[in-house]
Amino acid sequence: MGKQMTEMLKGTLEGIVLAFLTGNPAYGYEITAWLRGQGFTDIAEGTVYALLVRIEKNGLVDVEKRPSEKGPPRKVYSLNADGEKYLEEFWTTWGFLAERLESLRTEGK
């Protein structure tokens, strides 16, 4: 993946995944596939799983294990109340940053 994208994803990938999880419980493999479909073609599987471990440890999601027809059991993640609050803060932070950058891009300094 491009180095710029790699650095830019720091902090935002988490928000992207949490946003996807809103009202839409999903498991790791599924999330990875979705991300690739969104254009994040080079996201490594390991990155997603590590992220999921982290947000679970931070108490932002609930986890439920479900059997799969085609492989090992799935770990289905769903956003909980803390996660929703965290995601709201994420949007606030991102909104500020995006606004600053947008005005920089159009107006110049």
Q: With binding defined as CB under 8 A, does residue 4 bind a second copy? A: yes
What ranges make up the beta strands (E) of the chain? 26-27, 61-68, 71-79
Stretch that binds DNA, among 68-76, 78-86, 88-96, 97-105 (CB under 7 A): 68-76
The alpha carbon of 30 is separated from its chain's Cα centroid by a whole number of angstroms, namely 12
- Partner from a second copy, DNA, none binding residue 1, C-beta < 5-8 Å depending on class: DNA
Least distance (Å) between residue 70 CB and a second copy: 23
3-state secondary structure string, 42-63? CCCHHHHHHHHHHHHHCCCEEE
Contact 9, 2 (CB under 8 A): no
Least distance to a second copy, CB of residue 38, Å: 6
* Torsion over CA: 90, 95, 11, 29 (sign): positive
2 binds a second copy (CB under 8 A): yes
Residue 104 site contact among a second copy, DNA, none (CB < 5 to 8 Å, cut-off depends on kind):
a second copy
Restricted to residues 18-77, the positions that interact with a second copy (CB under 8 A) are: 19-20, 22-24, 38-40
